[in-house]
Structure 1
Amino acid sequence: MVVANELAGKRVAFMVAPEGAEQVELTEPWRAVQEAGGRPALISTSGGKIQAFNHLDRGDTFPVDHVVTDVSADDFDALVLPGGVANPDFLRMNAYAVRFAGTFFAQHKPVAAICHASWTLVEADVVRGRRMTSWPSLRTDLRNAGADWVDEEVVVDNGFVTSRKPDDLPAFCGKLVEEFAEGKHREQATSA
């Protein structure tokens, strides 16, 4: 359950490639952050607008707030990585996007990733030793990268929130707000 003003003053980066994000995996967490009083910002690898998708059909476009080369994790309190098959595949091929995502982990800031989004985190080499979930087809990739992959609706591992698919969005949104409200996760910060 999202509580109004739970995220008051928190800036949350949503990183999305110019094409390929699953629209509902962008819009539902965005709405949860806003309803909790947070300030979401859309980050992409280029300016202008991003094209979202409803599975394989084009969805809406959304204006980019910042290009990833112009911001850093220092500018934000948390990161959300929406899924979609193409979105993380494009992001993991961009060194700036990979570095941006990895820095949130290095700074012990909370991160939430749903569906295929964890591909970007495999590239950032931050899933090793983490308990997590994803779209089932990523299971082998994540295990090969050292993650403890499980098939559950939502998994939280020291400030890192993951879910499998759009059906998991209610649980995913609730847990990401909870973790983002906490900020730097105590266990994660002390285990580094």
Structure 2
Amino acid sequence: MKKVCLLLADGFEAVEASVFTDVIGWNQVEGDGSTELVTVGTKGNLKCTWNFNVIPEMLLKDLNVDDFDALAIPGGFEEAGFFEDSFKEEFLEVIREFDRKGKIIASICVAALPLAKSGVLKGRNGTIYNLSEGKRQDELATYGVNVIRDEPIVIDRNIITSYNPSTAFDVAFTLLEKLTSVEQKDEIKRLMGFNKS
């Protein structure tokens, strides 16, 4: 069983988290049963960007990275406290530990910023929210990231980054493919109605 840690900070976008829960969950129940997802939060009650409350299954302080095969991080809004929470040292250290162990790290949109702040993207390729006149892309570059501005998803070794919420399902399917196979990912896409065949 491949286990995914869905790491949630206050102010995360629910839609960006839900793609991971759904794709991994569909594979667990309707697919080959080889994946499982556990929600891990910085605290016991998290508020999403749009005032949606979530109770994670596990707290960050109780996380053992060795129990997981991959890390998934949805982005969020600065105004909702996303960076205040995701820039905390304990959040950044989890990212570093997953990277040190060569485990897959999948992020959506501005979740690339905590990755960059942790240092795991320094000297590597990545992307981030591409609108707002490139403001976030310029910010990502200040961390020593080689920003790929015109690719929706960028993969550099074990790290997946993407450039806006529209990429969310594709990131989740990419993660599933890396945990299983192309064929398994295609079957789940078919079952969910993405592949017509």
| TM-score relative to the length of structure 2 | 0.78
1:41 to 38, 41, 44: 38
Deviation at 1:113, TM superposition (A): 0.7
The AA in structure 1 aligned to 2:46 is: I
Partner residue in 1 for 2:129? 135
Could you say which structure has the larger radius of gyration?
2
State the shift of 1:82 in Å: 0.3
Moved more, 64-73 or 20-29: 64-73
The number of residue pairs the alignment matches comes to 168
Of 99, 108, 116 in structure 2, the residue corresponding to residue 105 of structure 1 is 99
Give the structure 1 partner of residue 146 of structure 2.
148
Does the CA-based 8 Å contact 2:76-2:110 persist in structure 1? yes
**Which structure's residues are more often strand, by fraction?**
1
**Letter of the 1:44 counterpart:** G
Structure 1 residue runs without a partner (length 5+): 1-8, 183-192
The corresponding residue for 1:27 is 18
For the residues of structure 1 that align with 2:48 and 2:77, how far apart are their CA atoms?
Answer: 11
TM-score calculated relative to the size of structure 1: 0.80
Output the CA distance in 2 between the equivalents of 1:176 and 1:94. Answer: 25
Displacement of 1:24 in angstroms is 0.4
Q: Which residue of 2 aligns with 1:14?
A: 6
* CA distance in 2 between partners of 1:148 and 1:20 (Å): 26
SS at match of 1:30: helix
Deviations 1:11-56 (A, max 9, x none): 1111112x31111000012211112222111111112x22223xxx
Give, in whole Å, the separation in 1 of the partners of 2:41 and 2:3.
Answer: 16
Opposite residue 146 of structure 1, the aligned amino acid is G
The 5 Å alignment of 1:150-169 reads 150-151=148-149, 152-169=151-168
Aligned partner of residue 156 in structure 1, secondary structure: strand
Following TM superposition, by how much is the alpha carbon of 1:179 offset from its aligned partner in structure 2, in angstroms?
2.2
Give the SS at the match of 1:20. Answer: coil
CA distance in 2, matches of 1:105, 1:78: 10
Q: Mind listing any 5+ residue stretches in structure 2 that lack a counterpart? A: 29-34, 182-197
- Say whether 1:126 aligns with 2:120: yes
Percent of aligned positions with the same letter in both sequences? Answer: 24
Q: Deviations over 1:127-163 (max 9, x none)?
A: 0122111113321222121211113111111121111
Q: Name the CA shift for 1:21/1:92 in 2 (closer, same or farther; >3 Å).
A: closer
Between the aligned partners of 2:166 and 2:36, the Cα distance in structure 1 is: 24
